[in-house]
Amino acid sequence: MNQACRVAVVVGALVGAVLAAVPARAQNLLPNPGFELGNSLFASDYSFSGGGNCCEGQYTVRNNGDTFNGAFVNPPPSSAGSELMMVCNGSTLPNVRVWYATIAVEPGRTYNLNARGCTAVAGGPAILQWQIDGVLIGSSVALPTATRVWVDVPSTWTAPAGVTSAVVALRNLNTSTFPNDFYVDDLSMVVVCRADFDGDGFVDFFDFAAFTECFAGGPCPPGTNADFDGDGFVDFFDFDAFVAAFEAGC
Ligand SMILES: [Ca+2]
Ligand SMILES: [Ca+2]
Ligand SMILES: [Ca+2]
């Protein structure tokens, strides 16, 4: 692209940005992510109990743990407004999915995953990790040994070329009998929106301004840099890549 064309693209993108700020806060792709719809819209290799807990590898969905198993300590809500959560007596079997669902994805897109986990019986604890299409991704997170403390279990994944759906799952890697019991809530999977360069949840002129300033050697928003295409050099290809992402929106 010659300089005149680049200028035309930039001006065009700016006009578009001024006309419409596009919300970039991607929707959560996971169904029933906070379990508020009960035991529905997901699958598990654990067995469901609507009553008490007889054995390892069993779960329920409710707002407390002690009616499931008298040894479980009830946690505070995982987040504001949360009523229900997944209550798990950790399985002792390997390669067992606590939670899973098949999710439509877009090849080449990067997704951020997160769950909240909390220990149900002091000790252990459970070690949670995301798995996609049978492969563990990112790092595992050991839950606190103490009860009543919720922590994040994050990961990031990019859909390979040709992949349009994925079996997204959460695993517990601690298969010791006692104690490896836990609560899970607030699952999320959202598209990473790189055009939202300033990270405020919208793709608009301010992102263009923030990238331009960063590209010109000024300050960059936290977690960003001007090497937008990641090839190790800051040059006009990065500007073109940003303009393309900006025009594509999220
Ligand atoms: Ca919930
Ligand atoms: Ca923004
Ligand atoms: Ca570059």
User: So what's the pLDDT on residue 141?
Assistant: 98
Boundary (domain end) residue, out of 142, 176, 191: 191
Q: How far is the CA of 221 from the centre of ligand 2 (A)?
A: 10
pLDDT at 196 over 70: yes
Asked, for residue 33, whether it belongs to a domain, the answer is no
Asked, for residue 137, whether it belongs to a domain, the answer is yes
Pick 13 or 142 by higher pLDDT. 142
Q: Could you list which residues have their CB under 5 Å from ion ligand 1? A: 34-35, 82, 84-85, 185
Asked, for residue 39, whether it belongs to a domain, the answer is no
Answer yes or no: do 98 and 125 share one domain. Answer: yes
Asked, for residue 151, whether it belongs to a domain, the answer is yes
Domain housing 221? 3-25+194-248
**Residue 12: CB partners within 8 Å, gap ≥ 6?**
none
Instruction: Pick the ligand that lies closest to the CA of residue 22.
Output: 2
Note the pTM of the prediction, 2 decimals: 0.82
Asked, for residue 38, whether it belongs to a domain, the answer is no
Q: For the residues 221-242, what does the mean pLDDT come to?
A: 94
Asked, for residue 34, whether it belongs to a domain, the answer is no
Q: How far is the CA of 61 from the centre of ligand 1 (A)?
A: 9
Q: For the residues 110-139, what does the mean pLDDT come to?
A: 96
User: So what's the pLDDT on residue 86?
Assistant: 98
Beta bridge partners of 218: none
Answer yes or no: do 98 and 143 share one domain. Answer: yes
Answer yes or no: do 98 and 186 share one domain. Answer: yes
Q: How far is the CA of 97 from the centre of ligand 1 (A)?
A: 19
**Residues 38-60: pLDDT tens digits?**
999 999 999 999 999 999 999 99
Answer yes or no: do 100 and 170 share one domain. Answer: yes
In the chain, % of residues over pLDDT 90: 79
Answer yes or no: do 19 and 101 share one domain. Answer: no
Asked, for residue 35, whether it belongs to a domain, the answer is no
The answer to whether 59 and 180 have CB atoms below 8 angstroms apart is: no
User: So what's the pLDDT on residue 179?
Assistant: 85
Mean model confidence pLDDT for the chain: 91
pLDDT at 17 over 60: no
Instruction: Pick the ligand that lies closest to the CA of residue 38.
Output: 1
> At 104, is the secondary structure helix, strand, or coil?
strand
Asked, for residue 156, whether it belongs to a domain, the answer is yes
Total count of domains within the chain = 2
Answer yes or no: do 181 and 203 share one domain. Answer: no
